[in-house]
Structure 1
Amino acid sequence: MKTIIITGASSGIGRATAEVFLEAGWRVGLIARREDRLREITDVNAEATALPCDVTDATAMRAAFESFAAEAGRLDVLFNNAGIFGPAGPIDEVPLDGFEQVLDVNIRGMFIAAQLAFAQMRRQDPQGGRIINNGSISAHNPRPGSVCYTTSKHAITGMTRSLSLDGRAFDIACGQIDIGNAESELVADLKARQPDMHTMDVSHAARSVLHMAELPPEANVQFMTVMATKMPYIGRG
């Protein structure tokens, strides 16, 4: 049975992805802060394991990864998904602590998860695995007033490229999925301010992650963009 750890698994894209992988017969480790939300999944599926912790807590994250690997036998895929949008507005209206919180979750948290997954994949037998980073459309083009989130997601693109390069020697592939306007809690907050926003069902993003994860070791989706068809991405500035 293939195994995956999903961060940010309690809601939105993470939860939808967990449900799609469980339906496909995977063993799924669920990382998020809200244990009650994770139990809603584990209570109805024996192949789901709740690993409640904060992605910015390196000690708790290490314990979660080690526990899952010991229980499941190996780690085939990490979906590095947890993230927050943070404060919106022009840069001179953004509080510094708000910016730092976004970097803490969206960069440091994703770095911790990738570091732990890389180490596990490098030392397991047979060696190798796949890391899928959740980038976002904002890894390419920003929304207005999104300097915190956009800065963090551009950093994730650099992380993806570095992991792709450094993972070659250990049969560790890394790819990035850039998702636009999937119906999640984060997008719901944005849509409340922009009611005419075009969105898509979150299941389309989840199935795209499954496609990336199910590729054979010799193939990799380096970057995938999946988005609501009519969202203003092409040409937005």
Structure 2
Amino acid sequence: MTAFAGRFSGRTAIVTGGASGLGRAVAARIVAEGGIVALWDRNAEALAVTKANIGAADVRALDVSDPAAVAEAAQASIAVLGRVDVLVCSAGVTGPTSAVETYPIEGWQQVIDINLNGLFYCNRAVIPAMLANSYGRIVNVASVAGKEGNPNASAYSASKAGVIGFTKSLGKELAGKGIIANALTPATFESPILQQLPQTQVDYMRSKIPMGRLGEVDESAAMICFMASEECSFTTASTFDTSGGRTTF
């Protein structure tokens, strides 16, 4: 990780899925670059460890698919931070690996509830505070699966396509109000989330990447931190790609 000293000096951020993987890497980098961070994650134990390791100002154990819990967490975190300048929505699950005709309904509902509905709840809860200050940077983590689709991952692919469409709409709503909203579409990268998948699925996704390797979490974290900074000032309602050449649109 190459930090940019002071890039987030005086800025505050809420990062969902912040106890591990990409969310944790982003939060650690924002803190290293002078920012103040609140972490949201459903794993309370991992949150406590991460808070101590990176120096987070606030942690909230919650399930983002619960809109009441999200609204409460937003109020509480903003009270601690004083305001919120950045929202990074990284919480997500892969769901079952299954053909559509055998895909479990409860698995479909869980993936959509967390990856798409939960992301909407987080955006909805935080945007009013950004509007009050006429400043904000929102980064919603999608996936190349939302652009191309992955076989036997219909719920995940659909949820991430929804994130892309939602963010395009949101960015246009907020354009001219000081708030920029973009989505990130990474290819598969080394992360604890891979433990939710069979190795055959991981191998398939690696085979689709022209660079011939999985991404590194810090590569996507670096992109997110640019998207979350003041430097990203004239691109909104768009997607940024970290896919090793898999998607070029």
* 1:218 correspondence with 2:225: no
**Once superposed, which parts of structure 1, at least 4 consecutive aligned residues long, lie more than 4 Å away?**
none
> Please, which of 37, 48, 62 is the counterpart of residue 39 of structure 1?
48
Alpha-carbon spacing, 1:116–1:193, altered in 2? closer, same or farther (3 Å):
same
Q: Which secondary structure state, in structure 1, belongs to the residue aligned with residue 53 of structure 2?
A: coil
* 1:178 correspondence with 2:194: no
Alpha-carbon spacing, 1:66–1:103, altered in 2? closer, same or farther (3 Å):
same
Partners of 1:234 and 1:211 in 2: CA distance: 20
Unpaired runs of at least 5, structure 2: 1-9, 207-212
| TM-score, normalised by the number of residues in structure 1 | 0.90
| TM-score, normalised by the number of residues in structure 2 | 0.85
Partners of 2:56 and 2:22 in 1: CA distance: 19
**Is the CA contact 2:57–2:81 (under 8 Å) kept in the aligned structure 1?**
no
| Residue correspondences, number | 230
For 1:71-121, what per-residue CA distance to the aligned partner results, in whole angstroms no more than 9, with x for missing partners? 211111100111111112221010111111111111110010010121221
Farther-moved stretch of structure 1 (11-20 vs 219-228): 219-228
Q: 1:18 is matched by which residue type in structure 2? A: A
For 1:121-173, what per-residue CA distance to the aligned partner results, in whole angstroms no more than 9, with x for missing partners? 112xx322111110101110112211111111111111101111111243221
Equivalences for 1:148-163 in 2 at 5 Å? 148-163=155-170
Match of 1:92 in 2: 101
* 1:203 correspondence with 2:218: yes
Alpha-carbon spacing, 1:79–1:164, altered in 2? closer, same or farther (3 Å):
same
Partners of 1:194 and 1:33 in 2: CA distance: 25
Q: 1:11 is matched by which residue type in structure 2? A: S
**Is the CA contact 2:164–2:239 (under 8 Å) kept in the aligned structure 1?**
no
**Is the CA contact 1:4–1:27 (under 8 Å) kept in the aligned structure 2?**
yes
> Please, which of 2, 9, 15 is the counterpart of residue 11 of structure 2?
2
> Please, which of 141, 144, 147 is the counterpart of residue 154 of structure 2?
147
Partners of 1:92 and 1:84 in 2: CA distance: 20
Q: 1:227 is matched by which residue type in structure 2? A: S
**Is the CA contact 2:15–2:38 (under 8 Å) kept in the aligned structure 1?**
yes
Identical columns (%): 27
**Is the CA contact 1:41–1:48 (under 8 Å) kept in the aligned structure 2?**
no
Q: 1:178 is matched by which residue type in structure 2? A: T
